[in-house]
Amino acid sequence: MRLLPIKDQIYSILNDIPSTITLVAASKTRTPEEVKEAFEAGLTNMGENYIKEAIEKIEKLSNLEIRWHFIGHLQKNKVKKAVKYFDVIQTVDSVELSALIDKEAKKLNKIMDIMIEINIAKEPQKSGVFPEETMNIVSEIEKFENIKLIGLMTMGPVVQSPEEIRPFFKLAKNLFEQLKPSVPTMQYLSMGMSDSYKVAIEEGSNMIRIGSKIFGPRKYS
Ligand SMILES: *Cc1c(COP(=O)(O)O)cnc(C)c1O
For residue 117, how far is its CA from the centre of ligand 1 (angstroms)? 14
Mean pLDDT of the 184-204 span: 97
| C-alpha–C-alpha distance, residues 129 and 46, integer Å | 23
DSSP code string of 101-122:
HHHHHHHTT-PEEEEEEE-TT-
Q: What whole-number percentage of the chain has pLDDT above 70? A: 98
Examine the pLDDT at 3 and tell me if it is beyond 80: no
Q: What is the pLDDT of residue 1?
A: 55
187 close to ligand 1 (CB < 6 Angstrom): no
Q: Quick one: which atom of ligand 1 is closest to the CA of 214?
A: 9
Examine the pLDDT at 152 and tell me if it is beyond 90: yes
Mean pLDDT of the 72-82 span: 98
What is the pTM assigned to this prediction? 0.97
Mean pLDDT of the 45-62 span: 98
Mean pLDDT of the 128-143 span: 97
* Pairs from 98-101 (Cβ < 8 Å, separation ≥ 24): 98/140, 98/141, 98/144, 98/147, 99/144, 100/76, 101/144, 101/146, 101/147
At a CB cut-off of 8 Å and minimum separation 6, what does 34 contact? 6, 27, 215
26 close to ligand 1 (CB < 6 Angstrom): yes
Q: In this predicted model, what pLDDT tens digit does every residue of 87-125 receive, in sequence order?
A: 999 999 999 999 999 999 999 999 999 999 999 999 999
Q: Hey, whose CA ends up nearest to atom 4 of ligand 1?
A: 211
Which amino acid does the sequence have at 33? E
For residue 209, how far is its CA from the centre of ligand 1 (angstroms)? 6
